[in-house]
Amino acid sequence: MQEHLNFYTDGAWTPAQGTRTLDVIDPSTEQPVARIALGDARDLDHAVAAARRAFPAWAAQGREQRLAVLHAVIAAYERRIDDIALAVSLEMGAPLTLARQAHAVAGLSHLRQTAEVLAGYAFDEVVNRTRVAREPIGVCGLITPWNWPMNQIACKVAPALAAGCTVVLKPSETAPLSALLFAQVLHEAGVPPGVFNLVNGDGPGVGAAMAAHADIDMVSFTGSTRAGVAVAKAAADTVKRVAQELGGKSPYIVVDGVDLPATIRHAALQCFRNSGQSCNAPTRLLVPVHLHDAATAIVVDVAQSLRMGDPRDAATTLGPVANAAQYGKVRECIATGLHEGAQLATGGLERPQGPTHGYFVQPTVFCNVSNTMAIAREEVFGPVLCILPYGTEEEAIAIANDTPYGLSAYVSAPDLAHARRIARRLRAGMVHLNGARADHAAPFGGYRQSGNGREWGRVGFEEYLEAKSMFGYEEALAA
């Protein structure tokens, strides 16, 4: 079993101040695969002090110097990408194929995209006689989740460093192995001491202290809406910037006239991908009432075709949910759906055939669901899909928008112009039209209780910058 009892601070691996430890559990076996130290406020203070000392010199680096470091990070990441994929699979249960082709590759994509943004970004602009400069915000505390660990680490750390900020990262304590490898990557790439720091810990021990820390200028948090509210409250006294990417209950509107088998199959696979543990997963499938039964049959076929088992087996297409707490929550949500009268089409509370251990949940489909039911309103974060019939397109849009969330939405229509019209009316930060994939160059984030701020690409890069107006900086125009 691996042991990771040190934190990466000020360019070196340093022992934790306290004695608390935590076993990292492989969710496919329920057995420990590693042990990590859990930090406390003292460990955080040490890391923040290192980041604060490193900030002036790093912020003063020119574009070319920071680009050189970023390209070195990309090269080091490429050398370790298989190790990163295996770590993700071990810590949160993703099938190794998915961990290689999606999780690890997403981290690399964000690094490359950030380098592209940095290479062409205009940090200064002239407005009349005013010079408007965009400068790094300072020391950033980054709190990342367990569901897409490397995606979230890279899409926060890369733009923060590229902007000239220094960072302290607190990854999820239940999925810390890929973060520890990422720290090794940055060390091998020659990131200067103090520019990047990592402290493992739980929310009460490190996360709350990070949000409240007076020497942290910005907190970027990804996780549940409940935890995001706590972070914002803890940060309020120091009036720091808080960027949040939170929960979702994304609708997928299917318009009559589409290729129904292809569209419904795409919707189901997007929902069940990563064992349903994606904040932007389309977990509410809205279909015309006369297509409800046909759509349900297609979704059931997809669900029953997924193979659950050892994530390191190439034949496995669906892994377990990531930890015991999530396993209990998903089962509780399924039980609630059954209790409130949602019609179970497949799946349910019984263990799937095959695996005898692990946090495996059958792909579960509820049909004839009303949007007033808890199963259609609350984020499950597991392989659970609700099918909601609608009568008119106006009704579909109303149902789609009837949610406290607003992260993502999906529309499939017979022609692009039709899909565009619906997309304009959806209250969500992102809309996928006719099966389009996400674009790492475009903003990622949501409305309402799905958070504030944006990640990815140029807009995500700008989250780590302050705007300074220098009035009268430019020479006056000749009369």
Residues labelled as active-site residues: 245, 279
CA–centroid distance for 329 within its chain: 19
Max intra-chain CA distance, the chain: 84
Query: What amino acid is encoded at 22 in this protein?
Result: L
Please name which of 201, 104, 92 lies closest in space to residue 147, comparing C-alpha atoms: 92
Tell me how far apart the alpha carbons of residues 51 and 54 are, in angstroms, rounded to a whole number: 5
